[in-house]
Amino acid sequence: MSFALDMYDKAKHHPAMEGFCCVLEGHPAKLPFPLSVPYICFGTEKIDSQYLLGDDEGVIETEVMTVKITVPDGFNGDYCRECAKCVTLALADLDDEKRIISISAGECSFDEHSYGYSLKLKFGLRAVRRIRG
């Protein structure tokens, strides 16, 4: 299971995420338009698998989790950034394995497709070893 899917499952039930609608990237369900609540979209941007020479124990996998936050029309970029702060703190709290090693935020800008402000967070994750099988 990808880290993004795991965090999505946990975030839906976190008290700080109440009032947000959590969705998975690529999910076939259509979002309502216009948006009525902030939407938090979990996805995976990159997964790399590498075999290390001389290491017969498994594969090293690295992953970058993305979280896109979109707020309804009528809310400004400041509100979008506040939502991002809330989501970041909640996800750090839910990271039981302490895999999150870096967080970066893209520019908060108006998204013409969803007709609201949006920004994308990228969570760099500690590599994990997958046993060959």
pTM: 0.83
Q: What is the dihedral of CA 60, 8, 35, 64, to 10 degrees?
A: -10
Residue 4 has a CB neighbour count (10 Å cut-off) of 23
d(CA 73, CA 128) in angstroms, rounded, equals 40
d(CA 86, CA 23) in angstroms, rounded, equals 16
Per-residue pLDDT of the chain (133 residues; tens, 9 = 90+): 588 899 999 999 999 989 898 988 877 667 777 778 899 999 998 766 665 555 666 667 778 899 999 999 888 999 999 999 999 999 999 999 899 999 999 999 998 887 889 999 999 998 776 655 5
